Amino acid sequence: MRSAPVLFLAALFTLAGICVQAPAAETAAKPRLIATETCVTQMHTGNLSRGPQMVVSPDNRHEAHPVAPFGKPMVVALDGQAYGPGCQGLYDGTITFSPDSKRLAYLAGAPQKGARQSVILDGVEGKQYDDVAIPFSFSPNSKHFAYLARKGKVWVAVLDGVEMKEYEDTAGPVAFDDEGRRMAYSAKAEGKWFIVADGQEGDRYDLAVYPVFSPDGKRLAFAAKIGDKCFVVLDGERQQEYDDLSAVSLTFSPDGKRFSYPAKRGESWFVNADGVEGAAYHAAAHPVYSPDSARLAYHAVRDGKMIIVADGVEGAAYERASWLTFSPDSRRLAYVATLGGKSSVVVDGFAGPEYEAALAPAFSPDSHRLAYLGKRDGKWMVVVDGAETKPYDGVFWNTRPVFDSPDRLHTLVRFGPDLDAYLVNVEIAED
């Protein structure tokens, strides 16, 4: 199994130092949370030959993990039920849900023996290959599925089970537009790299990687390199040259009209937004547009301190900052910040209460409420506008609160001696 190569440097954010903290959030009336729990998966860990690697669906309603009973073929369990055929083994980190959470894919084989590999999609095993690159790609509308595979000495893109043209090498991930009408990936022939978009080969470069479509599919961008200079190709036009790019951070706005990416010149990183270079930092990465495409925020590092830059304005400095999230109405901004070993959620420029860890801030559909996961005394709880549910024993790496309406949300947690998967529904009431 081959992972998608990291071919340009991305900004590194392992930091230390004394930082300036954002002001504490203003005290407001807390809602009353009514939580009910339903078991989704009983783990029965005593029957497993190794601890399960559990994956949660994007809608946070389903859970999948490999099951390896002693002396029996390995299978994948979806919500506690066997899913797909038994196999010799499963490649770690390959269980992938579709964006709509209705489809499931993973890579089967015998990793320790170097056996041929096959992708299992929707419970059906596909063709065997000598190597399969990860990650896989579902189209945003979940209707299409693609991956890159090697047969002998050549690589092919496989779209919905159909092999495309053979190349001496390829690089992923495969990109789709929102409707899945367009597809692009990186390929190599005669020693040169190019982007294959909709089956058509583009110009040759020393390197060409990470294609990305605008959501409407009308625009295409990718990172390229000739000699020691890196640049973005946007709408077929070569942009300004730089010493390095964070190729994985090429970002279109939701309306497709704006485009941003982090770039490096000399020792300085900055975000190039619509052709205009922002302030210089020690590192810059992960630009995020607001839903209305009018606002732009990103992570930056200066003097060993991490800050969030929103609309060109720097926030407070922290040891770490993550989970950058705009509200649906684009007016509010939240993220998780860590200072002195404690984490808090910063919203509208104010820091909330401290926890051992905090994850996944999410705004309600009307943008009025904010929910996230907080950890205290080794236990996790759902936090909504400062109010907390009962504590739970654990979370998954991609656990997050999902609002079903302005006053209801749900998430998946781990609870009990076997850390079973539980669906938690939370009703938000005013006292």
The Cα–Cα gap between 359 and 325 comes to 11
More confident residue, 397 or 33: 33
For residue 207, which of 1, 6, 3 has the smallest C-alpha distance? 6
pLDDT at 249 over 90: yes
pLDDT at 368 over 90: yes
What average pLDDT does range 79-93 have in this prediction? 84
Do residues 156 and 26 share a domain? no
Q: Considering the domain boundaries, does residue 355 fall inside one? A: yes
Do residues 36 and 157 share a domain? no
pLDDT at 111 over 70: no
Do residues 118 and 151 share a domain? no
Do residues 13 and 78 share a domain? no
Do residues 149 and 213 share a domain? yes
Do residues 422 and 328 share a domain? yes
Q: Render pLDDT for 251-260 as a digit per residue (tens, 0 to 9).
A: 999 999 999 9
Q: Which structural domain range is residue 145 located in?
A: 134-241
The answer to whether the CB of 317 falls within 8 A of the CB of 338 is: no
Least-confidence region, from 53-57, 273-277, 372-376, 377-381 = 53-57
Q: Render pLDDT for 220-240 as a digit per residue (tens, 0 to 9).
A: 999 999 999 999 999 999 999
Do residues 209 and 110 share a domain? no
Domain count, the chain: 3
Q: Considering the domain boundaries, does residue 113 fall inside one? A: yes
Q: Render pLDDT for 301-311 as a digit per residue (tens, 0 to 9).
A: 999 999 999 99
pTM of the model: 0.90
